[in-house]
Amino acid sequence: MLSHPALLSRKYLQEQSRRLQREVAELVRAEEVQKKSLDAQEAELKELADQKFALDQHAIVAITDVQGTITYANDKFCAISQYSRDELIGQNHRILNSGYHSKEFFRQMYQTIANGQVWRGEMRNRAKDGSIYWVDATIVPSAGADGKPRQYVAIRAEITERKRAEEEIRKLHAELERRAAELARSNAELEQFAFVASHDLQEPLRVVAAYTQLLGDRYRGRLDQDADKFIAYASEGALRMQSLIQDLLAFSRVGRVDAARVCVDCEAAMEEVLGTLGPAIHESGAVVAHGALPVVWADRSQIAQVLQNLVGNAIKFRGKEPPVISVQAEKAGQDWVFSVSDNGIGIPPEHAQSIFVVFQRLHTRTEYPGNGIGLAICKKIVEHCGGRIWVESQVGRGSTFKFTIPCDVLAEKELCSEQIPVPS
């Protein structure tokens, strides 16, 4: 029997409808299974978070969904953020935003975790009462069945103290740099001032000295005795001022004029100094010995000047015995440490620093001649070379002046030993 077409189509439709129902039911069941498995996965994750970090009192743990809604918060997270768990769950993680980080910072972070990669970084968060805390965060995406991130697990450690210390150090550093720049600027100004003043004063002083000298020569014995005395004082004063100004000029020149650095054979420089100081050595009966002295990368005349000033002082500030002077050098780390020791009058410990200051002297000029600039010049030269200078002394038992010259640059100048300039 042939079926009526209408019956056929009804039957067909019923079949189709049943099939559709079956398929829908299967789909619903599949979705439920998937949901159940995802829920189980989430529950497992939370349980894992609880177990894994229960031992670590410091771990701040949160889980959010992909929109950033908090679905889990451990006790430490509640404690540090000052929100109760109820207040946190269901809130967007933005609740902790302190407004410190840029949009770009968050964009990069979300991009990383949305791509299924782990993000690590430091974050500044705001607690419920508005106080700020810093965390070192690791955000791990957790993928769903489809492989796409379904939630994010954030594990953090508080680093507020460390950040505070870092900030403190940064501020101190900035302040130090500011002061160093300020000091360099005022030093440069002072040097410029000393140079200009001493340079410009030279000419009028030369006129005063010349004319007082002339007055003395022409009118000595032709006026009264007082006039002779006064003219002599004026002439002496002018000469002394000239010598002070010349010293000041020499001092301000160190560092202002670019040092001509070459490989300096200090032994040759020392021989030169002994030649210059020959008359003083002879007159005082001094014995000056020196050990092996190195080759250094410096300005030859400046190194000679330091040695000359120190050996000269060792002769000048001698005690009752003839001076016995020793010049040595030894390597200490990255430096050559030079020493000039004597058996002279010594220096009281309270003056160990001040003697390196311009025009600072411990004696009158009648006791020991000089202007008090020699050690200041030594200090400036040595510091310009990157070294330092100091004295070790005992009153009545002699002094040892020590200074350092860095030797690291010499490593690059291996050829030095072949190019030692012969002293003129």
- The amino acid that residue 159 corresponds to is I
Q: Would you state the structure tokens that stand for residue 49, as one six-digit string?
A: 């978070």
Is the CB of 72 or the CB of 401 nearer to ligand ADP? 401
Nearest distance from C-beta of residue 284 to ligand ADP, angstroms: 13
Nearest distance from C-beta of residue 291 to ligand ADP, angstroms: 19
Helix axis angle, 300-316 to 266-276, nearest 10°: 50
Q: Is the dihedral of CA 272, 274, 278, 280 positive or negative?
A: positive
Nearest distance from C-beta of residue 381 to ligand ADP, angstroms: 13
Is the CB of 153 or the CB of 340 nearer to ligand ADP? 340
Nearest to 273 by CA among 322, 264, 173, 355: 264
Nearest distance from C-beta of residue 193 to ligand ADP, angstroms: 21
Nearest distance from C-beta of residue 262 to ligand ADP, angstroms: 26
Is the CB of 280 or the CB of 410 nearer to ligand ADP? 280
371 — alpha (psi -120 to 50), left (phi > 0) or beta? alpha
Nearest distance from C-beta of residue 362 to ligand ADP, angstroms: 3
Nearest distance from C-beta of residue 382 to ligand ADP, angstroms: 13
Is the CB of 279 or the CB of 333 nearer to ligand ADP? 279
Is the CB of 119 or the CB of 317 nearer to ligand ADP? 317
Nearest distance from C-beta of residue 351 to ligand ADP, angstroms: 7
Nearest distance from C-beta of residue 194 to ligand ADP, angstroms: 16
Q: Would you state the structure tokens that stand for residue 274, as one six-digit string?
A: 């002994």
Strand-pair category, 287-290 with 324-332: parallel
Nearest distance from C-beta of residue 355 to ligand ADP, angstroms: 4
Is the CB of 186 or the CB of 394 nearer to ligand ADP? 394
For ligand ADP, the nearest residue by Cβ is 370
Residues that bind ligand ADP (CB under 6 A): 309, 313-314, 317, 342, 344-347, 355, 361-363, 370-376, 399
Query: Within the chain, what is the greatest distance between any pair of CA atoms?
Result: 170
Is the CB of 73 or the CB of 389 nearer to ligand ADP? 389
Nearest distance from C-beta of residue 364 to ligand ADP, angstroms: 10
Is the CB of 102 or the CB of 364 nearer to ligand ADP? 364
Is the CB of 155 or the CB of 373 nearer to ligand ADP? 373
Is the CB of 62 or the CB of 389 nearer to ligand ADP? 389
Is the CB of 370 or the CB of 386 nearer to ligand ADP? 370
